[in-house]
Amino acid sequence: MKFSVRCSSGVGLSEFREAATACETYGFDQIWTGNDLLRRSGIVPVVLALDATTRIEVGSSVLNPVTLHPAEIAMLTANLQELSGGRYVLGLGAGSEVFLRWAGIEPGTPVTRTRAGLRAVRELLAGGVPDGWHAQASLKDGPARDTRVYLGAMGPRMLNLAGREADGVLALCLPPDRFSWFADQVGTVGPDFDLVCCLWCSIDDDPAAARARLAPKVAAYAGSLAPATLELAGFDVERFTHVADLVERGENEAAAAAVDEDMLRLGLVGSADEIADRCRELAAAGATHLSFGQPLGRTTREAVQLLGTRVLPALDDLRGAA
């Protein structure tokens, strides 16, 4: 069993560096930062975290090959591997359709552009020239150190692409109890493939505070989840529609208040003991890498401490078994 932490896009430099050193101290395997378009860069925090640590892997989750050209991604990766001694892990994804259009970009289909970007980056990192590029289009300073490439994915086609062509997948498992469905979409993979069960997590010694912290995130995404997917997971679709309508009208506080206990199943929420119990359920379903993401806790540092001192020790037997 592997464990990681994911910080959101726009995370502060010192906050991410401190989170990375804390994660390393508590025995996490990885830490990731977001890189949504028009937020603060997710690459600069990675540089600082790699420089401040010695063991933990640090990843960018996720770089899109539309606004950041595959050649630039390969160039950055080569430098980050040199800095870290090979501890950088590269996350790639399609990028948000909404954010790309805000920037005046009409991209191709998500799977098509992500596949092309993935193949180009891989070829460049290996010292080659991507298909269709000029014969001189290779990294001039030589190939980079071996780099594991993960794809960020939620839908069946992207999950399947990850299983066929990537080294791992950052699968946002909403809700977590449908993990086996996500694994089925990835398909048959080799023993070294890293299927990361990415979770929304809200941990607090005060379970009510944890629930109050997760509710706004559920409300914000209530309109983004397919009704058929919600129905398959046993949710009340009309409830999600109601919450989404409140968000659309700008009534965010009312929307969060309308999120009920059942809707909170989209994430892991509660005390350290409750989080540990849910992690055991996921391990029993076949998960081998659990990744804890926002909203996390009152602060990132406090959440990492609770996870590292209370949850991970309670799951030591799972890590040993793995």
Per-residue pLDDT tens over the stretch 251-310: 999 999 999 999 999 999 999 999 999 999 999 999 999 999 999 999 999 999 999 999
320 confidence band (pLDDT: 50, 70, 90) = low
HEC-encoded secondary structure of 67-123: CCCHHHHHHHHHHHHHHHCCCEEEEECCCCHHHHHHCCCCCCCHHHHHHHHHHHHHH
**Looking at the domain assignment, is residue 313 inside a domain?**
yes
Any domain includes 308: yes
Helix (H, G, I), strand (E, B) or coil at 198: strand
Residue 216 lies in a domain: no
Q: Mean pLDDT score of the chain, rounded to an integer?
A: 94
| CATH classification of the domain holding 276 | 3.20.20.30
For residue 240, is it within any domain? no
Is 7 contained in some domain? yes
Average pLDDT over residues 111-129: 97
Helix (H, G, I), strand (E, B) or coil at 133: coil
Structure confidence at residue 322 as a pLDDT band (50, 70, 90)? very low
Indicate whether 223 pLDDT > 80: yes
pTM of the full structure: 0.93
Residue 60 has pLDDT above 70, yes or no: yes
pLDDT at 215 over 60: yes
For residue 34, the enclosing domain spans 2-204+268-321
How many domains, the chain? 1
Q: Is residue 257 part of a domain?
A: no
Q: How far apart are CA 115 and CA 130, in angstroms?
A: 12
CA distances from 52 to 8, 15, 25, 30 (A): 19, 12, 12, 14
Select from 171, 180, 194 the least CA-distant residue to 293. Answer: 171
